[in-house]
Each structure stands twice: as C-alpha cells, then as structure tokens.
A and B are shown apart, each in its own frame.
Chain A
C-alpha cells in the first residue's frame, strides 16, 4: 500500500524568506505522480505543483519548486520569497499511474504560517 508522510505538522517563516516543506512516500510502483496542494483558511484546495516520476527534472512554478529524489522517495517543496498569502495548510499527495483509478493519497499536511 502506498503511504505519504509529512513529518512537520507546523512551520513558520518570515515574509520574504525561503522555507522547505518535507514529504516522503512509500511505494513499490515505478510510475506515479506527486503533487503539492495548498489549502488556505478559506478551505479551497489549490494545486501548487505537479511532478511526474519519470521526469528527472524538478518541477517549478514561479516561487515554488520541488526537490524530487526518486531513490530516496522524497518530494520536498521550496517556497522562495514567502508572502503572507502563502499562509495555508500544504498537502503532499501521490497517485499511481496504473489501474485508471485517479486515486490521490494525501499526507497529513503541514500548516505554514508566514509572519510579517
């Protein structure tokens, strides 16, 4: 069975600084997808970034980038130049490429607070 672990329940960062959120996963599959979603206090889940396991290049989206280490089964999210609007709960999620299920498996989440 696949599992996703986020070991940091809460983190804080000063505005304009950089923060890294950790995520590890366990799977015997070779083809899969990894995601980071953001859930602000308003509750709407928003996709931050997506990584295909077959791609060696780390995905980036503006101030957000990932460090994907397939052998170590690690998928951390780096937020650069943190902004107050980045305050939210961040979920790491995993999806296998087989079975046509579309099932997302989520980690427990990390609450990030950006301080002015």
Chain B
C-alpha cells in the first residue's frame, strides 16, 4: 500500500484568501484524487488529478475555485481559492497504484477553517 502525506495538517485562513494543500505519495501511483469532508459528514469527490493534463472535476466543483496540479506520479496540489466560511472542511488526498478500480489509500487530511 502507498503511504501518503499532506501539508499542512491544519490551517486557519481569512475569508477571500487562498490555500494550497500538498499531497505526497511515497511511490509512483497511477491515480490521485481529492475529496472534501464537511464537518460531521461523509466524503465527496472533488476531482481526479491527472498527471500531465487538466484535472477531471465532479459536478458542483470548478477549476477556478479548486485548481489542481499534478506535475508527476507522486505529487499533487489542491488550491482552495477565494475562501469563504463554507469552505471549512477536511480535504483528503487519495491514491491508487494501478488501475482506477484499485484500492485507494488516503492521506491524513488537511483541516481547514475559514474565518
């Protein structure tokens, strides 16, 4: 299984600012994903981070608000732009080593609070 780390682990940000979250995997993986977990709720897929091309976004999530980069097979970033208090959530990165149907392993998450 892949070991995944995220930075920062938590942050408190002001309304209108942006935060970039980093996700690092200890081995090359085919697929990387970003999820959001709102307080006390389940996980929702934001987008699939594609290496060398634009991310694939789920309905309700747009690139201008959540730009994603994936420069190589072990690293991805998610930016939360122009933040509002509604963006306060835990953001989790996950990765699958082979096929898209392979088991996904998750990072520890980034707890974001927007004031």
Distance between Cα atoms of A102 and B42 in the complex (Å): 17
Contact A102 B43 (CB under 8 A): no
Contact A102 B106 (CB under 8 A): no
Among residues of A, the one whose C-beta sits closest to the C-beta of B111 is A43
When distances are taken between beta carbons in the complex, the residues of chain A under 8 Å from B13 are none
Q: Type the 1/0 row for B38-65, where 1 means its CB is closer than 8 Å to any CB of A.
A: 0001111100100000001010000000
- Stretch of A18-26, A76-84, A104-112 with 4 or more beta carbons under 8 angstroms from chain B: A104-112
Interface assignment of A33: CB less than 8 Å from any CB of chain B: yes
Distance between Cα atoms of A37 and B43 in the complex (Å): 11
When distances are taken between beta carbons in the complex, the residues of chain B under 8 Å from A33 are 101
Interface assignment of B18: CB less than 8 Å from any CB of chain A: no
Smallest CB–CB gap between B113 and chain A, Å? Answer: 14
> Given that A43-B109, A47-B105 are contacting pairs, would A101 and B43 also be in contact in the complex, using a CB cutoff of 8 Å?
no
- Pick from B45, B103, B109, B111: contact of A103, CB under 8 Å: B45
Q: Which residues of B contact A (CB under 8 A)?
A: 1, 31, 33, 35, 41-45, 48, 56, 58, 90, 92, 94, 96, 100-109, 111
